[in-house]
Structure 1
Amino acid sequence: MVRSGYLPSLDGLRAASILLVLVGHAEISSRSPGGFGVTVFFFLSGYLITTLLLREQHRYGTISMRQFYLRRVLRLMPPLVLTLAAAMLLSAVGLARGQLDLGTLTSQLLFYFNYYAQVAAPQLVEGLGILWSLSVEEHFYLIWPAIFVALMRNTIRIRHLVLLLAIILAWRCYRVIGWGDPEWKIYFSTDTRFDSLLYGCILAIVQQRYPDFDRRFRSGPAMYAILALSLGVLLFTLAYRDEMFRSTLRYSLQGIALMPIFHFAVNCPDALVFRPLNWAIIRRIGVWSYTMYLSHYVIMYALAANDVAAFGSLSILLWSLLLSCLWSALVFELAEKPLMPWRRRLSVHPGSMPQGAAAD
């Protein structure tokens, strides 16, 4: 599926993911699936980035590594730098607890915090520990464009990606059984979470190469039956609390179950179950979701530190939702929106002509 234009429901799925994360971090329930919200973000990131790379490949016959990484910098760094600065300011005036040391700040800005935090004792403004997930994503994108190019040249095939998924699962099992790594180390490490993005990448490639593979399943009953099965698998992965399972097979099953959900959400946005994802307010939260993710936990800890709201209460969820939306809207207007023309320019190959176009 390579076509220009807005991908229906993806901003809605972003919004659903950030809301899951907020509910989990608010600690309203011990079973709140905040970690699953991060997994959905990973899957969505792999799916969206690969879809954009497929469009670039289709239009120009190649992808520009340089422009890919420049787009990543323009997308990630302004909200990250502003949110880190705001967190340090809150700490400096006594509204937030903790402080950032140079080593921790460097690891967060250069995206190796997930491993730095495992070997050092990072000093943090409370709430900034969630930046580990940015490290996982950026490590993945150091490798994925090269794999993508190999796929486009048929040097490797989809079956090799499926084999890689199996290898990563086996590696997780080895780290748990052979090394005795605890669940949190598996959760934070790039080498054990690589496949959470890869499942999304594979879905995008399958959609592009086999656009009609699901034609018989797009009728209401068939689609809803597949969605019900996927939801059942996801609920099982959240309810089953065995630590070995949670550190190993859980991520694989979640990746598989997310595939049909994303597929139908994008291709059948008018289906009753997906319509809420396209409500204007939900899409707007999706647009803000990255900055909301960066800021919401700092806001929660600041609210708790100043006795405005307590963890485990509905009020901390509502206040953090409101304040993170306000902060994200401000960052979007001041930093992200002005850079959009630059990012669009970086999607066009200088001096190149789209495939199939005639010279003027």
Structure 2
Amino acid sequence: MAGSSPFGAQRYSTRPPPRLRVAPNPSGGGGGELTRCVPLRRIHRVAAISYAEYRAMRRFPALDGLRAIAAVIVVAFHFGGPKWDWVSGWVGVQLFFVLSGFLITTLMLREEESRGRVSLRSFYIRRIFRILPVYLVVLAATYALAHLNGGGGRVRESMPYYLLMVNEFAPNSAFLHSWTIAIEWKFYLVWPLLAFALVRTAFLRRIAVTLLVIAGLVALIPFEKDWPYWPIHYVSILVGCLLAIVMHHPKGYALFRPLTRPVVSLAVLVGFVAVHLSLQYWPPAADGHSELRVAVYAVAVAFLLPAMLTPGIPTKVLSWRPLVFVGERSYSLYLVQYLAMTTVIALVPSYAGHSTRLFVGTTVVGLLAADLLYRWVEQPMIGVGRHLSGHGKAAPTPTPTTPTPTPTPDLPVLTPSGDRR
């Protein structure tokens, strides 16, 4: 409206007026709904991320940092001993699960919107070449090392479980920690069929289906058991899926948009850390696990992820290059941790009786091995998968099982830069 301004007049004696940036409607509506101007020097401090800005994002830079922290605390849980119980590393895999559900579902929703449908063939090819090459290499190395140490029989006994991806039911062996990969693998097989082949484009219908599946899985959980029954892990993944579905819709995104204000996002991060550290004080189970804590933690992660979209202090910290380095290699680090531990003890036998040194040594050796796997196995095989799936060469995909889409000219690429463990 020429000749008038809703912002009123401002006078500046010696300094020029601040640069103004048009900020979107607080409701999180479309990019054309403009209601106010905010000084550019304040925009990163006060402004929430609009729906249009969220949909345009090609990277979620804080996710690699989250993945790095999750991987390291898992190693601390396995090898750090009682001194490291306070980090509650056992729950780190739940962070991976929620991330996987959120990223995979977001990628498929954007592909569906861009192309009209999700190519299941391309999806499965990319998943196969994303997950299996490193998995099989580490499995073979685990068997070889166990055989040299006289324990090959146990790994051989469990091999059918590992090859069929039902690791969670395998007898105890040096590769038992790979149960998480089996959980995600079965999720990748079923979820695209359920949410994108049988239920197409309907927002409320997808919400209803996801909630029904979550309710069904919760009903299967034997709460009287000390160890959480396997359905609870699928609940964590589905919490991430539900978050992605809600945030993909303008009205759904508006519910989470306040969390993207930098000040609020910092408060959310502090609250999440408090929840994480409080897990050790929850009613204990015999082995340190409980279904209730897993469910609460998954919901806490779901609130954390939207808060990590804003370019504030939390995102800057989690995007620190060393954290990104570890996060990109977290899948391989997770897989090789027991091989790394065995190597550390073989080189420095005294570390076997010192939990902190063993944890640190395992992390360092594991990262060295993970870097080699990342460069020589993960990345080349991801490229092969993209080629075979009919997609052209794209920007490098970060880490493992929290997938990254194959880029196309009309489909935004999410990177956690955006992948997993």
Shorter-chain TM range is 0.7 to 0.9
Q: Report the CA distance between 1:58 and its aligned residue.
A: 2.2
- Counterpart check, 1:325 vs 2:373: no
Equivalent residue, structure 1, for 2:238: 198
Equivalent residue, structure 1, for 2:402: none
Is the contact between residue 2 and residue 54 of structure 1 (CA under 8 Å) also seen in structure 2? no
Identity among equivalent positions (%) equals 27
Give CA deviations for 1:33-55 in whole Å, capped at 9, x if unaligned. Answer: 22211111111111121122122
SS in 1 for 2:118: coil
Give CA deviations for 1:241-298 in whole Å, capped at 9, x if unaligned. Answer: 3339953322221111111211111x11x32123221111211111111011001123
Equivalent residue, structure 2, for 1:16: 69
Is the contact between residue 27 and residue 311 of structure 1 (CA under 8 Å) also seen in structure 2? no
Q: Report the CA distance between 1:152 and its aligned residue.
A: 3.3
Matching of residues 60-79 of structure 1 within 5 Å: 60-79=115-134
Q: Which has the larger radius of gyration?
A: 2
Structure with more of its chain in helix, by fraction: 1
Q: Report the CA distance between 1:164 and its aligned residue.
A: 3.1
Equivalent residue, structure 1, for 2:201: 153
Is the contact between residue 195 and residue 206 of structure 2 (CA under 8 Å) also seen in structure 1? no
Q: Given residue 214 of structure 2, which amino acid in structure 1 is its aligned partner?
A: L
Give CA deviations for 1:305-359 in whole Å, capped at 9, x if unaligned. Answer: 661512552211221111111111111222122223333342749xx9969xxxx
Task: Give, in whole Å, the separation in 2 of the partners of 1:310 and 1:20.
Answer: 19
Quick one: which of 120, 123, 131 aligns to 2:178?
A: 131
Q: Which runs of 4+ in 1 moved over 6 A?
A: none
Matching of residues 177-326 of structure 1 within 5 Å: 177=224, 182-184=225-227, 186-187=228-229, 189=230, 191-210=231-250, 211-243=253-285, 246-265=289-308, 267-268=309-310, 270-304=311-345, 307-310=349-352, 312-326=354-368
Task: Give, in whole Å, the separation in 1 of the partners of 2:153 and 2:316.
Answer: 43
Change (3 A) 1:75 1:308: farther
Change (3 A) 1:101 1:232: closer
TM-score by length of 1: 0.83
Computed over aligned residues only, the root mean square deviation of the Cα atoms, in angstroms, reads: 2.8
Is the contact between residue 26 and residue 311 of structure 1 (CA under 8 Å) also seen in structure 2? no
Q: Report the CA distance between 1:59 and its aligned residue.
A: 2.1
Is the contact between residue 233 and residue 254 of structure 1 (CA under 8 Å) also seen in structure 2? yes
Q: Report the CA distance between 1:204 and its aligned residue.
A: 1.5
Q: Structure 1: which 5+ residue stretches go unaligned?
A: 356-360
Deviates more, 1:277-286 or 1:301-310: 301-310
Is the contact between residue 86 and residue 277 of structure 2 (CA under 8 Å) also seen in structure 1? no
Equivalent residue, structure 1, for 2:22: none
Task: Give, in whole Å, the separation in 2 of the partners of 1:151 and 1:3.
Answer: 25
Give CA deviations for 1:197-223 in whole Å, capped at 9, x if unaligned. Answer: 011111122221134433444334433
Is the contact between residue 88 and residue 279 of structure 2 (CA under 8 Å) also seen in structure 1? no
| Higher RCO (CA-CA < 8 Å; seq separation 6+) | 1
